[in-house]
Amino acid sequence: MPFNETLRRRIRERKSMVCVGLDVDPARLPAPLRDKPDPLFRFLKGIIEATSSLVLAYKPNLAFYESLGVEGWDLLRRTLRLIPEGIIKIGDAKRGDIGSTAEKYASALFDLGFDAVTVNPYLGRDTVTPFVRDPEKGCFLLCLTSNPSSHDFQYLRAEGKCLYEHIAERAGVWNDGGNVGLVVGATHPRELSGLRRIAPDLPFLIPGIGAQGGDLEAAVMNGGDASGESVVINSSRAILYASSGADFADMAAVQTSMLRDAIAAAQEKKRAARL
């Protein structure tokens, strides 16, 4: 089954569009874990066990693991094995290269067990091709990112359109395997609406909720497809570090549940607006 179809099915089965970003930072570990053996794994295990019934996906950001060297890669492998069957695993790698290098990046990430990855399409289609070859594996293309400096390049105009609009159009063309999506920041609510018109059927991975100040309701209202779905809402720090004490896992679950409920309320508002 193509990845995008699997994603929509999982959204309905799990009744959630929440993605928890597993951006583990040793400097922010809860105090009770710091003197324990294998503290980062204990932390991630606690987070996953507390939130797995509430989420659609987990998204490890590879930079947080790569910065730890060999131990970080081992931590990533063990973390992926913790994630229960049926929950989507997104590798936030933002890879972007061509030829044999892109091939190796794709095989490395998918061989680790990721269901989808993030890719920078700046170098063109041959950057993307290795990541979309298997229709069952997803590829989220960086389109309009949540950071303030996204305006430096992504809003540059060519042939009457912004660069991010060209990316969205190309993503639709490259989606012949049914496994291409877009990364669009919640910090761009107005642009989300326009991008949904350009790419009515593509899933959107939406970061920027919480610490970056993105508007959740606007993200769901403007980014959701006709059914209010095909949206993956990511939250990282607000969930992972909801508490610095022994109750870190319980508080992560509380924050995840609140986010899931808020998304559902925004979905219902979108449906009501269409009636």
Report, as residue numbers or ranges, the catalytic residues. Answer: 94
Residues 6+ apart with CB under 8 A from 14: 55, 56, 86, 87
Per DSSP, the residues of 78-124 read HHHHHSPTTSEEEEEEEE---HHHHHHHHHHHHHHT-SEEEE-GGG-
Nearest Cα to 168, choosing from 205, 196, 207? Answer: 196
Which residues partner with 144 through β-bridges?
A: 184
The answer to whether the beta carbons of residues 130 and 102 sit under 8 Å apart is: yes
The span from the CA of 200 to the CA of 255, in Å, is 30
**Cβ distance 266 to 17 under 8 Å?**
no
H helices within 113-247, ranges in order? 125-132, 163-174, 189-198, 216-223, 237-240
Return d(Cα 179, Cα 182) in angstroms, integer. 10
Sole residue written with tokens 């890669």: 73
